[in-house]
Amino acid sequence: MRSLLSRIDRFFVPKPDPERSGWLREWTYAHRGLHGPGIPENSLAGFAGAAEGGLGIECDIQRSRDGAAMLIHDWELERLTGVEGKLAEYRADELAQIAFLDVEHKLARLEDLLALVDGQVPILIEIKSRPGYDVKRSCRAVAAVLAGYGGLHAVMSFDPRVSRWFRKHMPETVRGLVMREDEVGFTQKAWQRHLALWLAQPEFIAYHVAALPNRMISPLREVGIPVLIWTVDTPGLLDHARIHADAAIVEGAGVP
């Protein structure tokens, strides 16, 4: 059965195109920027630090009330800013005035990140989603900002609809599928993982570090699909990543 599923996977996943996605293997990516004490995750300061250190950037996108692509991971503001309420209840201009906890750095938009990086290093843009969420609106918001951007970049999501949307509406953008197998994710069962893969038709995979290697992903890597691994936060996991994946998304002690 597993062998059959692997053969079906190869049918659904696009044939690897090194001209489009080969660059993914050439970088190590800072998870939510190069953050640490005084430098919040998904802050422009963290992204600037990553670029200065020669690291690619991984960032998260949530959508504001007025449809802007904002650089933040959580659906709620409190953990990162101390402000109560959902991010989606605020307009982009209001969010841009909110500072992260205990620092002067403020929330920013995707367009701010693109202007900051200006092609110096590649950017992985993870679009957040959840059941019942209109993720297509987020895709349109991100696509509008990316239009005309010449630097290396890719979009990815746990939601297979994101890759599917970009394949249809913005095919020039490299697209990926993020997956995990633990109790936090939505793809704990093998059939869910394969279904997500078939729906997404991604050009690369970003897989949870605790779940590699496995018999689903290894065959895809063998035929040339780039496999990224997250989140690598220790030297031992970095060694693991170098064996079982093509590139690492790192933070903390995992930063080489």
CA atoms within 13 A on the CB side of 104: 0
Answer whether residue 106 shows pLDDT above 80: yes
- The two tokens of residue 198 are 């078939």
**Residue ranges of the alpha helices (H) in the chain?**
2-12, 18-21, 44-52, 78-81, 92-95, 110-117, 135-146, 160-169, 190-200, 217-222, 235-244
Per-residue DSSP letters for 170-200?
Answer: -TTSEEEEEE--STTSS--SHHHHHHHHHHH
Give yes or no for residue 135 having a pLDDT over 70. yes
Apex 83 CA angle, 77 and 87, nearest 5? 35
Counting other chains too, the contacts that 227-235 makes at CB distance below 8 Å and 24 or more residues apart are: 228/24, 228/29, 228/124, 228/176, 228/204, 230/31, 230/58, 230/178, 230/206, 231/31
Averaged pLDDT for residues 142-168: 98
In the chain, what are the domains?
Answer: 2-254 (3.20.20.190)
pLDDT value of position 163: 98
pTM: 0.97
User: Residue 183: pLDDT band by 50, 70, 90 thresholds?
Assistant: confident
**Does pLDDT of 51 surpass 70?**
yes
Phi, psi of 127 (to 5 degrees): -90, 120
Element of type H or E holding 155: strand 153-157
- Between the alpha carbon of residue 136 and those of residues 22, 30, 73, 84, 199, the distances in Å are 27, 26, 18, 26, 15
